[in-house]
Amino acid sequence: MRSEQLTVVYKLDTLGVAHALQGIEGVLRKYQIRLDGFRVYGKPMDFPNAIRDIRKPHFNVTGCGFEFRLSPVRNHQLDFFQVKTTHECKTSWVDWSAPFIGESNFVMAWLADSEYDHWQNAKDPLQYTAVGKSYAHLPMKSSGLPYPLEQKIIDTSANPGRWRLCDGYYEAVGAVMWLGEPFWQLTGADKTGVENARWLRASKPVPSVTCLQAANECFTTADGASGELQGKLRSLLFPAVK
């Protein structure tokens, strides 16, 4: 089974280590996943004491087939949190989203196939050569850095599965997305129009959040109908994108 990931975005400095870890622990306990099988930055982690021991506003926790990442992105005024599966996921993404989407500072979340997300956003040719993957067929552009740092990078700007950091949110699409009230203010998207789009399944898991399902499974290709659907969803949710 392919690896998948849930990315959650909050307003800057509003998610926090304590909230993130409590949400993680709650889901792990629900599925009776052992709490002593995790490491934080490579060191064994004592989950009950992790809130006390992690003194920075970010963390990287791995174990039991999961990777959890939290980081503030100050130059874009947001908190970034991600849950990634590294083996067959036997938990529900609805359960993983539940501890986070009801907060007033919640902006958005989306579900993605990890490999597809990686290659749709890989700009450095070294990412390809390191695994023996050709990039000869891909469009290239200048990195925009001054000489002698300037180099050719892969142009991902037309990729259906691309993401882009914006002030307060990500320009990104997923087969399943959760959108909080701040999302509409930040992007200028027409909430009523989005919720009434007949080609989307819209629901309200909590009163302040709109859940959209555009496909039954995560996007895994940029070609054909899937690529067109991703482009259509992007245009609807991010009307200012050119």
Overall size of the chain counted in residues = 242
Q: With CA atoms as reference, report the closest residue to 89 among 120, 118, 121, 112.
A: 112
> Mean of the per-residue pLDDT values for the chain?
93
Instruction: Tell me the per-residue pLDDT of 4-37, one tens digit each, with 9 for 90 and over.
Output: 999 999 999 999 999 999 999 999 999 999 888 8
The beta strand positions in the chain, using DSSP E, are 4-11, 38-40, 43-44, 59-63, 66-73, 78-85, 106-113, 140-142, 152-154, 164-166, 169-171, 176-179, 201-206, 209-213
Taking the model in full, what pTM does it have?
0.94
Q: Which residue has the tokens 């819209």?
A: 202
pLDDT at 82: 98
| Whether pLDDT at 126 is above 90 | yes
Q: In Å, how far from its chain's centre is CA 28?
A: 20
pLDDT at 92: 94
Confidence class of residue 88 from pLDDT cuts 50, 70 and 90? low
Give Cβ neighbours of residue 49 (< 8 Å, ≥ 6 apart).
none
pLDDT at 89: 67
d(CA 61, CA 37) in angstroms, rounded, equals 10
pLDDT at 174: 98
pLDDT at 166: 97
d(CA 168, CA 155) in angstroms, rounded, equals 24
Q: What's the chain's Rg over C-alpha atoms? A: 19
Confidence class of residue 224 from pLDDT cuts 50, 70 and 90? very high
